[in-house]
Structure 1
Amino acid sequence: MTIVEKEFGGFPFVDPGFAPTRLLTAVACCRWQRTNPGSVPAGSELSAVLTPERALTIRRLDLSLDLPFGQLSDERQVQIAQTRAYVGTLLPDWRPLLDVPLTFHQLRHSQAISSSNFAWPQHIFLAAAAFAAPTTLAEQIVHETCHQWLYFIEEMWPLQEDNGPRFTLPSGTGGRSASELLGASHVVVCLHRLWSAMPADAELRARRLAHLRAYGAGCEALMRGAREAFTPVGQALASRLIEEIEAI
């Protein structure tokens, strides 16, 4: 059993016993020690390093990446807030995960519908297409929030070994790292649960679930062949995701 399973009850969005507050506290302590080595923080100081702005500032001490982005309208920010709350009513055990502090930006100069990046912790980028329908926005918010929670884990324990192989995901996207493969697999499992719970047109739901099952099967095959590319924590996550993919 890895430290993540022992100390935090498993993995976010996957294990019902996962303790998000414990993980966030651990992340906050690591961030505080990164900028204030040897000192003991007050509770308010730990809360401060969990804001997206401070998170980005601290990450840039080690990893700096400039990304183009725009500002979302107030109307779209309201849509995002309402969608996060709505998904929390559908899946109450996800509510603490969805309520983590996040900043949302307009995604620019990209063909993607949404995006997250380890270099920008607690920041999510959404293209105009993400707002095309309520179900689309719910999917993209869950998708990117899943990435953010794995980034929290990676902030303390890497999921992949150094200089590992690159993978082509079932979507055809190539050059992805082992941790990105885990991220894609994690998203598939979570989106399958979302679409199973979310009111939607029956034909649309069936089509999305079929796609997710096929994508998950492709991810499972890649993970089974990539054990040596994962750290012990990454291997534990891969095993849990394989279990979940086999059950969908």
Structure 2
Amino acid sequence: MMPTPDMLAEPFSLLNGVPFLDERFRHSTLLAAVAAGRYHVALQSGHHHPRPPQAWLWPSAALMLRNGPPMPVQPLTPVRLAAVTASLEKIGNLLPEWVPLLALPVRYALLSPSRGAISASSRMWPQHVLLAEAAFVSERELREQLVHELCHQWLYLVQELWTLADPQAEEVTLPSGTPGRAPDEVLGAAHVAAALIRLYRASCDGPRGRIEHLIGYGNACLESAHGLTDAGTRLAERLGAALNGLEERSS
């Protein structure tokens, strides 16, 4: 299928939906486009580039291009890494359509110091997921944190190619009370909420009231989002439809 100009301007048509929400999401199309984009950036910036261009999907190569601040990390122990692998496998068993998304090349590391956070991701550290010791207190907690951070990682990939919000837009406070968030981060929070609802429905082990809380949280995020581009607006509409559909199922 050849993309039309409208599809190129609106990623969620080209990609056939949103990761973790749409079963026919074209993950391979996004990865190929990101690899090509990174390859081009590497050539323009004079980086020694590995062959083939798809090698820019390695976490280490992606991090080199960003050249961001150092990460607050230590290596995960073999036991912790095995727990991550087992948890990803269990998530894939619950939601087989997520298996390609869970297979994204990611470096998992220990968040240290955690400063109260359970997990962390940043666009400055593409394809790196940081997990605090608190993420390993239970299988359910680890599953949630992995899905949470992988949602961010896939949306970061989209944002390498498309802008979701005006970079000059005023920052907002998340419904949780966390201040100083850009509008695209608010969309990311709503995306996580919608994906976690799918996870808890599939696992049937969510804490009482957790799904209702996530529906309310996700909708509150969307209500505070502003300064969105056309692509960001389309994402917000898709997230709203997902959350509203989930809300109907819970009532």
TM-score greater than 0.5 by the shorter chain? yes
1:161 aligns with 2:161: no
Partner of 2:145, secondary structure, is helix
**Cα deviation per residue 1:29-49 (whole Å; 9 max; x = unaligned)?**
000011125xxxx99512311
In structure 1, distance between residues paired with 2:219 and 2:134 = 27
Residue of structure 2 equivalent to 1:98: 102
Cα shift at 1:90: 0.6
1:5 aligns with 2:7: no
Residue of structure 2 equivalent to 1:215: 217
Greater mean deviation of Cα atoms: 67-76 or 18-27: 67-76
Contact 2:12–2:235 at 8 Å: present in 1 too? no
**Cα deviation per residue 1:38-74 (whole Å; 9 max; x = unaligned)?**
xxxx9951231101000100122xxx22222111110
**Cα deviation per residue 1:62-88 (whole Å; 9 max; x = unaligned)?**
xx2222211111001011011111101
Residue of structure 2 equivalent to 1:239: 237
Aligned length: 236
Residue of structure 2 equivalent to 1:20: 27
Residue of structure 1 equivalent to 2:3: none
Contact 1:25–1:46 at 8 Å: present in 2 too? no
Match runs of 1:1-248 below 5 Å: 2-37=9-44, 45-60=52-67, 64-109=68-113, 110-200=115-205, 204-223=206-225, 226=226, 229-248=227-246
In structure 2, distance between residues paired with 1:247 and 1:205 = 20
Q: Which amino acid aligns with 1:242?
A: G
Contact 2:151–2:192 at 8 Å: present in 1 too? yes
Cα shift at 1:207: 2.7
In structure 1, distance between residues paired with 2:126 and 2:18 = 18
**Cα deviation per residue 1:113-145 (whole Å; 9 max; x = unaligned)?**
000000000000000010011010000000000
Kindly report the root-mean-square deviation, in angstroms, between the aligned alpha carbons of the 2 structures. 1.9
Unaligned ranges ≥5, structure 2: 1-5, 247-251
In structure 2, distance between residues paired with 1:3 and 1:217 = 22
**Cα deviation per residue 1:155-210 (whole Å; 9 max; x = unaligned)?**
1111111210111111110110011001000000000110111142xxx5333212
Contact 1:164–1:178 at 8 Å: present in 2 too? yes
TM-score by length of 1: 0.90
Q: Which amino acid aligns with 2:179?
A: G
Cα shift at 1:96: 0.3
Q: Which amino acid aligns with 1:216?
A: G
